[in-house]
Structure 1
Amino acid sequence: MNAITATVPAELRDWSVDWPDYSPVDVTPPELRPAALAHGAPDWAEAAPTPADVHDWDRRRSSALVPYELDARGWPLHPQGRTGRTGRNLGRWGENAAGDPIVVAGTGRNRQVLLITRSDILVEAIPGGMVEPGEPVPMTLVRELREETGVDLSSHRPIILGREVVDDWRASDHAWVASTSALYLLPATVSAAGADDALAATWWPFGSLDQLATTVAAAGRSLYPAHRPLLQRALDHLTR
């Protein structure tokens, strides 16, 4: 069971299942609560206190990476069902689009993957981030990689691996992350250094997901759970 549904029994996860006693925990941080938003939203977040204050749901849904529905109030519903959390701990209500560039160097036993140490939760993760308003996803992939590792792959054409909801720790019933994951292949490692939201940028052995997780653990870190499926998809592509 992933973090998104950890507090919700599997048989009650689907929105079509009646659950009169459902009481999700509000995960909204102080800076996104109505009283604070009345004085201005942070530069990374929209100013809408609730989904009822958003007036372009038709446009948002038509451009979503992963389809989703609205409830009777017109509020967006997490595509994977109940999460046990309500409110918003992300920049936008509904889908928050992200880009995750998976950079792999070398082949076979010499294969390595570039990960960052996230400054917010101190785990090893794919260098990526949110799509900015009006920004094409390919630009997001290049920008986030450059900002967090100093690696510029603007001249490289990646392989798009998938578009899916990810198990982000900030997700709630009405706000979640959906990511475009893309694979960049390099003949050898290049110099990388952590910056922006990354404390460090490190090349790790990438023969298998188990090898990666074990090596990361031996260094006193853990692998970001939300990115395990994305990394496995990259491995599947490389070894098929």
Structure 2
Amino acid sequence: MNETRYTTDAVALDPDGYAPVGHPGVTVPEDRRCWSVSWPAYAPVDITPPELRAETLARHVPGWAADRDATPDLVRDWEQRQAVALVPFQLDGRGWPLHPQGRTGRTGRNLGRWGESAAADPIVVAGSGDERRLLLITRDDIEQEAIPGGMVDVHLGETAPAALVRELREETGVDLSEHTPVILGQDLVDDWRTTDHAWVSSTSALYQLDATVTAVAADDALDATWYPFGSLDHLVAAVSAAGRTLYAAHRPLLQRALAHLAK
């Protein structure tokens, strides 16, 4: 039986064969997503940006990159990374990490680390009932409304609880270091930068306040806004009314927060 080779759908590659970082990748049928399914013709699209390619990394490492290795087989601490991963993952025969949910249609990386990049997402809710509000930021990379979170600085020994507090303070000016959140889960995130060998997993945590507090956008945030949060549909409508879009990857995390609040 002949395999079908999927293409880059006429999107122009640069001279070195890389696609734009926003390229959706090749189509992956559901019956070929699992790594255990043989697919010799699989040809994922490489979305590695110039600053993370081998020739650039040989000269310097961008400030946001934790791995200076151009390919994942050069990483030497995979056993340790697998031991602390929020979502378990395996390595292939080359020593490359494999996305826990299977093929993505894209390869390379547009994240600081190969394999799992751990994120922390603080979901801050104020008030109750019809007065309940949710704090969101406008991300500067995709200009969508999102939870004010970010990456855990694991290479500096930071923990997820510390990152929750730091990211919230850096992006909104809100300091909740004296509050104890409810950890909602540790999950894969459908992040726009995901590839076969680099992805994001997040610790999401719920902070509950009696009333809204002043929030001022900073760092990676263009704006910080309190939105009505009676339901996910209610939130989406409010965000749309403001002329903005809710970051799709955070919807499952917000739905989980609503489920907890409904208990």
**TM-score of the superposed pair, with normalisation by structure 2:** 0.88
Instruction: For structure 2, list consecutive stretches of 5 or more residues without a partner in the other structure.
Output: 1-22
Report the AA paired with residue 144 of structure 1: E
* Counterpart among 71, 79, 82 of residue 61 in structure 1: 82
Find the counterpart in structure 1 of residue 6 from structure 2.
none
Larger Rg computed on CA atoms = 2
**Correspondences of 1:108-187 after superposition (within 5 Å):** 108-132=129-153, 133=155, 134-187=157-210
Q: How many corresponding residue pairs?
A: 238
Find the counterpart in structure 1 of residue 46 from structure 2.
26
RMSD of aligned alpha carbons: 1.3
Find the counterpart in structure 2 of residue 80 from structure 1.
101
* Counterpart among 220, 224, 227 of residue 201 in structure 1: 224
Deviation string 1:120-166 (CA, Å, 9 cap, x unpaired) is: 00000000000002101111000000000000000000000000110
After TM superposition, give the deviation of residue 11 of structure 1 in Å: 1.2
Instruction: For structure 1, list consecutive stretches of 5 or more residues without a partner in the other structure.
Output: none
Deviation string 1:147-204 (CA, Å, 9 cap, x unpaired) is: 0000000000000000011000001000000000000000000000110000000000
After TM superposition, give the deviation of residue 7 of structure 1 in Å: 3.1
After TM superposition, give the deviation of residue 218 of structure 1 in Å: 1.4
Report the AA paired with residue 96 of structure 2: W
- 2:39 aligned with 1:16, yes or no? no
Quick check: 2:25–2:45 contact (8 Å CA) kept in 1?
no
Quick check: 1:4–1:167 contact (8 Å CA) kept in 2?
no
d(CA) in 2 for partners of 1:7 and 1:111? 41
Compare relative contact order (CA 8 Å, sep 6+) and give the higher one, 1 or 2: 1
What fraction of aligned residue pairs are identical, expressed as a percent? 68
Deviating 4+ runs (over 2 angstroms): 3-7
Q: Secondary structure at the match of 2:184?
A: strand
Quick check: 2:26–2:106 contact (8 Å CA) kept in 1?
no
Find the counterpart in structure 1 of residue 69 from structure 2.
48
1:68/1:108 CA distance change after superposition, 3 Å = same
**TM-score of the superposed pair, with normalisation by structure 1:** 0.97
